[in-house]
């Protein structure tokens, strides 16, 4: 399977992980922990699958969204993603544990080591050190994918038109349809503005305190930006998704009925011609 094909199937986060470090990030991670690449890859995919299910079943709460925004305000995670030598650094373990708790929640994060260890065929001890690094890389990937759009929201730059129909086509990868017509504004040349931590920190605090809570969720665009980064389903328009499913089913049923009636009409006409 090619890089582009894997990205389309497994989503944008996996696409970033396989793009980083001249497409050697997964191999470099394996070498850092003295593992075969297949085991490192399995560990990453198990974590991504668990993360996808977690977010799909539990939409981002206000507090969880705020904590995630704070992580995205740090350029440290992008550096881990792009720097092989940081995979084994003590600082990566520290920020990675923070990322792990935010992404999965403390309870799920505590149980993740045994789950990944069993799936990848590695020891729990190795998994306990591996998971924070992978979590840091996941946040770094999400930061690359969403940074420009979140900064645009904070600075009140012109919004990008939404396309709810395209939002239902998942997983969403770079260059394909998505919450914002598949347009990826994030760049990979810099780690971000010097004032980025302050910008993201202020946004996180507003989200946490519920500023303008009387309005119809002013931070909905941020949720959608992050959801698109994860390649998640358009959870915030569930009525549209249900309508889409109902409409597709109704059209299929109508088509079947029309075909049956046409066949009956043709049969009757043949009998009358005789």
Residue-wise pLDDT for 235-272, tens only, equals 444 433 444 444 545 555 666 667 777 777 777 777 76
Structural domain tally of the chain? 2
Residues 250 and 117 in one domain: no
Residues 49 and 153 in one domain: yes
Q: Mention every residue, 6+ apart, whose C-beta is less than 8 A from residue 110.
A: none
Residues 267 and 229 in one domain: no
- Tell which residue, 99, 45, 43, has the closest CA to residue 67: 99
Residues 101 and 164 in one domain: yes
Give the DSSP H/E element, type plus range, for residue 180: none
Residues 119 and 37 in one domain: yes
Residues 153 and 218 in one domain: yes
Does residue 96 belong to any structural domain of this protein?
yes
Does residue 204 belong to any structural domain of this protein?
yes
Does residue 57 belong to any structural domain of this protein?
yes
Does residue 95 belong to any structural domain of this protein?
yes
Residues 209 and 243 in one domain: no
Residues 13 and 134 in one domain: yes
Q: Mention every residue, 6+ apart, whose C-beta is less than 8 A from residue 191.
A: 75, 78, 79
Residues 243 and 231 in one domain: no
Does residue 44 belong to any structural domain of this protein?
yes
Long-range contact pairs involving 38-44 (C-beta distance under 8 Å, separation at least 24): 39/120, 39/121, 39/122, 40/120, 40/130, 42/119, 42/120, 42/121, 43/116, 43/119, 43/120, 43/122, 43/127, 43/130, 43/131, 43/134, 44/14, 44/17, 44/134, 44/137
Report the pLDDT value the prediction gives residue 273, as an integer from 0 to 100.
Answer: 65
Residues of the chain with pLDDT below 50 are: 1-5, 7, 159-190, 234-246, 248
List the domain range (segments joined by +) for residue 47: 3-183+193-236
Q: Mention every residue, 6+ apart, whose C-beta is less than 8 A from residue 18.
A: 3, 6, 7, 25, 26
Residues 74 and 210 in one domain: yes
Predicted confidence (pLDDT) per residue in 92-102, tens digit:
999 999 999 99
Does residue 188 belong to any structural domain of this protein?
no
Report the pLDDT value the prediction gives residue 224, as an integer from 0 to 100.
Answer: 87
Residues 89 and 219 in one domain: yes
Residues 34 and 166 in one domain: yes
| Angle, CA of 187, 100 and 31, to the nearest 5° | 75
First-last CA distance in the chain: 58
């Amino acid at each position: 399977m090619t890089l582009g094909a894997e990205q389309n199937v497994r989503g944008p986060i996996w696409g970033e992980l396989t793009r980083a470090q001249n497409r050697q990030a997964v191999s470099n991670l394996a070498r850092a922990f003295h593992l075969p690449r297949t085991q490192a890859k399995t560990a990453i995919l198990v974590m991504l699958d668990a993360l996808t299910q977690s977010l799909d079943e539990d939409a981002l709460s206000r507090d969880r969204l705020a904590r995630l925004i704070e992580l995205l305000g740090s350029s440290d995670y992008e550096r881990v993603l792009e720097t092989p030598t940081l995979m084994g650094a003590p600082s990566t373990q520290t920020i990675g544990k923070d990322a792990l708790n935010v992404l999965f929640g403390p309870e799920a994060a505590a149980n993740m080591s045994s789950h990944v260890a069993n799936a990848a065929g590695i020891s729990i001890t190795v998994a306990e050190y591996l998971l924070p690094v992978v979590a840091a890389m996941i946040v770094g990937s999400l930061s690359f994918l969403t940074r420009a759009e979140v900064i645009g929201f904070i600075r009140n730059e012109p919004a990008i038109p939404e396309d709810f129909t395209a939002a239902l086509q998942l997983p969403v990868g770079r260059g394909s349809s998505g919450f914002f017509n598949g347009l990826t504004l994030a760049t990979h040349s810099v780690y971000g503005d010097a004032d980025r931590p302050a910008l993201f920190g202020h946004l996180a605090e507003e989200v946490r305190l519920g500023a303008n809570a009387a309005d119809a969720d002013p931070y909905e665009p941020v949720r959608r930006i992050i959801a698109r980064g994860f390649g998640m389903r358009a959870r915030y328009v569930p009525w549209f998704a249900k309508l889409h499913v109902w409409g597709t089913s109704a059209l299929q049923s109508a088509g079947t009925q029309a075909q049956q009636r046409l066949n009956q009409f043709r049969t009757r006409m043949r009998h009358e011609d005789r």
